[in-house]
């Protein structure tokens, strides 16, 4: 407990943008076959530092086979909420779930170079207290720490629907299920919210048997992955509207609401449209009658390719699908970054008008049947995937792995973990920084990135930018 609010808590997105820049990044390192322990890499981002752009510390966990994926903070700018203010919490712990093991680590990063495990929650405790498994997205909010889970109970996670559970933000005790009325929601992936407007939006990937051992082509072609998003009354814990994008819009994944809490819109990325292999972004918004609406505002076309160059999974299509696997919105709600993991491209859209996004910048790197090299001459395995934007919006970081078994299907025979950074131009545009290129330790892949002091996919703000 502090006597004053943590200096990394900001009332509005604008204040967060004006704050000092990030000194460190924390990036997930995962062992794709479980032969090594997973960990968190601490990366030096202090400009001018001798070790800039290098892994300066690693927290390696004692277990194997956790498969780290997403993670988040114990506390963020939402702690300044005028309603449920926990202003004196410290942004100090990273909550790191293993999606394969359902084990959760709480890592103390108060001193980034001495980061260490603070607490471990064993899978049995999670199963017993929540009925959920495969914990994934973390957000800190009004009632504590919210964790979305991809699986329900039972061995294969299909015994009951998956959902969100709440964890105490001080003791890290699991409190229990979040939902009181889940409506039609039967799959889960991402979620985020607008705290003053009291709504939450959640999305769907698929059930554990549909992803754990790799993508199931029959399920994809018969449109059995998630294609709906759900709108919730956040505090009443009730699903108030389920919006089906259409069953061909397979895997509605990342939810990115506008950061400014006066705005009632956001975006959702769809991995693949099974009718034409396009990737798509939907803009969702609340209309004047309070009903949620959505419209497809970005489509990205597949690239025709000689089947001989394609992995077996894609040979029948003779094309490389864009595979929109991650999106991220800058704190000023101006630029939406879209990772096309299949094509090997990172797109930057100007979404000042959220209904009419305009492509403002693009970087080509990696990609299926392409393998575009980094401008520094080195290889970039797989394609651009988990993307994170600095608070000031000037630097965009990303890594390359999607999910162990899926990497192996879309990029068979390739191996490696990389993290790169691109600079954002004064008026948009995206250029890879030749000095920033991290090759992860052998046998480890890279996934989500968190920036010290918060970033564009962690902090929820309770006051508008004025």
Residue ranges in contact with another protein by CB under 8 A: 1-5, 9-12, 15, 80, 82-88, 142-144, 170, 195-198, 235-236, 261-262, 462-464, 466
CB nearer to another protein: give 2 or 431.
2
CB nearer to another protein: give 288 or 435.
288
- Dig out the tokens for 244 from the structure: 């089906």
CB nearer to another protein: give 236 or 358.
236
CB nearer to another protein: give 143 or 364.
143
Could you tell me which residues are beta bridge partners of residue 30? 445
What is the nearest approach in angstroms of another protein to the Cβ of residue 463?
5
CB nearer to another protein: give 268 or 462.
462
What is the nearest approach in angstroms of another protein to the Cβ of residue 121?
19
CB nearer to another protein: give 8 or 137.
8
CB nearer to another protein: give 83 or 128.
83
What is the nearest approach in angstroms of another protein to the Cβ of residue 11?
4
CB neighbour list of residue 50: distance below 8 Å, 6 or more residues apart: none
CB nearer to another protein: give 92 or 235.
235
What is the nearest approach in angstroms of another protein to the Cβ of residue 145?
12
What is the nearest approach in angstroms of another protein to the Cβ of residue 277?
42
What is the nearest approach in angstroms of another protein to the Cβ of residue 264?
11
What is the nearest approach in angstroms of another protein to the Cβ of residue 267?
22
- Cα separation, 126 vs 104, whole angstroms: 9
Q: What angle do CA 21, 27, 29 make, to 5 degrees?
A: 165
Sign of the C-alpha dihedral, residues 302, 341, 156, 125?
negative
What is the nearest approach in angstroms of another protein to the Cβ of residue 339?
32
CB nearer to another protein: give 9 or 225.
9
- Cα separation, 247 vs 225, whole angstroms: 8
Cα 283 from chain centre: 18
What is the nearest approach in angstroms of another protein to the Cβ of residue 167?
12
- Cα separation, 93 vs 109, whole angstroms: 6
């Amino acid at each position: 407990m502090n006597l004053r609010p943590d200096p990394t808590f900001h009332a509005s997105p604008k204040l967060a943008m004006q704050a000092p820049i990030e000194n460190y990044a924390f990036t997930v390192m995962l062992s794709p076959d479980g032969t090594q322990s997973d960990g968190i890499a601490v990366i030096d981002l202090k400009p001018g530092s001798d070790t800039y752009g290098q892994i300066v510390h690693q927290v390696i966990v004692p277990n194997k086979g956790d498969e780290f994926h997403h993670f988040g903070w114990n506390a963020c700018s939402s702690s300044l909420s005028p309603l449920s203010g926990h202003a004196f919490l410290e942004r100090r712990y990273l909550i790191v779930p293993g999606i394969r093991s359902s084990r959760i680590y709480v890592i103390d990063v108060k001193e980034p170079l001495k980061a260490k495990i603070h607490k471990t929650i064993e899978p049995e405790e999670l199963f017993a207290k929540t009925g959920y498994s495969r914990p994934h997205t973390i957000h800190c909010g009004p009632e504590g720490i919210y964790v979305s889970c991809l699986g329900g109970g039972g061995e294969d996670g299909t015994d009951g629907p998956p959902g969100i559970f709440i964890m105490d933000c001080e003791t890290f005790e699991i409190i229990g299920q979040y939902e009181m009325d889940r409506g039609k929601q039967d799959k889960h992936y991402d979620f985020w919210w607008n705290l003053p407007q009291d709504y939450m939006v959640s999305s769907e990937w698929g059930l554990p048997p549909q992803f754990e051992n790799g993508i199931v082509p029959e399920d994809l072609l018969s449109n059995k992955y998630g294609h709906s998003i759900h709108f919730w009354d956040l505090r009443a814990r009730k699903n108030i509207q389920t919006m089906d994008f259409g069953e061909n819009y397979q895997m509605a994944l990342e939810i990115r609401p506008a950061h400014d809490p006066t705005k009632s819109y956001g975006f959702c990325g769809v991995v693949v449209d099974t009718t034409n292999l396009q990737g798509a972004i939907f803009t969702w918004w609340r209309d004047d009658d309070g009903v949620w609406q959505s419209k497809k505002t970005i489509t990205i076309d597949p690239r025709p390719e000689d089947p001989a160059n394609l992995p077996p999974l894609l040979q029948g299509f003779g094309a490389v699908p864009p595979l929109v696997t991650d999106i991220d919105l800058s704190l000023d709600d101006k630029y939406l970054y879209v990772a096309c993991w299949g094509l090997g491209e990172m797109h930057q859209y100007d979404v000042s008008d959220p209904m009419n996004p305009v492509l403002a910048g693009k970087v080509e790197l990696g990609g299926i049947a392409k393998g575009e090299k980094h401008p520094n001459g080195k290889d970039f395995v797989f394609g651009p995937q988990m993307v994170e934007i600095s608070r000031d919006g000037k630097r965009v970081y990303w890594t390359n792995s999607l999910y162990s078994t899926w990497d192996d299907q879309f990029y068979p025979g390739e191996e490696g973990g990389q993290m790169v950074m691109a600079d954002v131009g004064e008026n948009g545009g995206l250029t890879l920084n030749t000095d920033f290129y991290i090759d992860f330790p052998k046998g480890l892949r890279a996934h989500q990135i968190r920036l010290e002091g918060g970033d564009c996919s962690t902090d929820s703000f309770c006051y508008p930018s004025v």
